Amino acid sequence: MLLIGMLAAFAAYFIIGSGSQGDIDLAKKVLSTAICVVLFTAALLSFIQAKTGPSLEIVEELTEQHFEQMAALEAQYYGADCITPPAEAYRWYKRYPATTIAAAIGGQVVAFVNLFPVKESIYTALREGKFNDHTLTLDGLADPFDGSDEPLHMFLCCVLTEPAYRRLGLTRHLLALAVEQYEPVQQRCRRIITDNVTPAGAEFSRRYGFEQVQLSGHDSLIFEQDYADFVAHVSGTQQAEPTER
């Protein structure tokens, strides 16, 4: 539309200003006025489209379809043998809603974070490189709000943001929301672990203060740190740059 408007403006300029009877001064006035009108109209249409089009939002209630979308996002970066089946991940969420925070545009997930405590046996197996969260079931998760004083072993299972949205601070925002949910039990959260199957994931862990402890049996890199230090990186009291798992 902008191109058509500009072409029409210049066409009017040449018609009015050309020939022996042409009025070049009038042609210039018409051209400048037409350009202003075209640019204003284009800006107005863009504003209206931005207001009426789908916007980026945190999904308040996730569905199984959302988890299928998350799995599809993961499949762009690593194989199915490293992806928790969507139906199982949805079971985690239904039992423990804090496990997943996601952002979507028009109902399509573009970024998400999985953060939750796992049972000590699962955490130990992860740290030893002997466990793939592809096989993690609801039984392996721990209830963070059971009212006990037992330590919580946190697992940052997945962090993924579509490339187009990584420079918006979306990753850090989702991490902050995920961490916020565990504030009431933060004193119980001792250590946190990541299982990184891509170079970008390993770089994310390093930038957020994790230290490599193991090469897993499924060729991923295991990183770990104190949970309090991780929270400090997320909150910005320690420097970090977000990427994805």
Alpha carbon separation from 84 to 7, 101, 219 (Å, rounded): 54, 16, 17
DSSP 53: S
Give the chain's largest Cα–Cα span. Answer: 94
pLDDT score of 240: 46
Question: Angle, to 10 degrees, between the axis of helix 227-235 and the axis of helix 170-181?
Answer: 140
For residues 146 and 117, is the Cβ–Cβ distance under 8 A? no
For residues 226 and 129, is the Cβ–Cβ distance under 8 A? no
**Closest CA relative to residue 124, chosen from 191, 185, 69, 68:** 191
Residue type, 135: T
Residue with tokens 């420079």: 167
Sign of CA dihedral 91, 189, 165, 223: negative
201-211 CB burial, b ≥16 within 10 A, e <16: bbebbbebbbe
For residues 130 and 122, is the Cβ–Cβ distance under 8 A? no
End-to-end alpha carbon distance in the chain:
41
* Cα–Cα dist 63/58, whole Å: 13
pLDDT score of 217: 94
* Cα–Cα dist 171/102, whole Å: 10
Residues 6+ apart with CB under 8 A from 71: 83, 84, 85, 86, 89
Beta strands 211-215; 56-58: pairing state: unpaired
DSSP 213: E
The radius of gyration of the chain from alpha carbons, rounded to an integer in Å, stands at 26
For residues 158 and 74, is the Cβ–Cβ distance under 8 A? yes
Regions of the chain where pLDDT drops below 70: 1-54, 237-245
pLDDT score of 144: 97
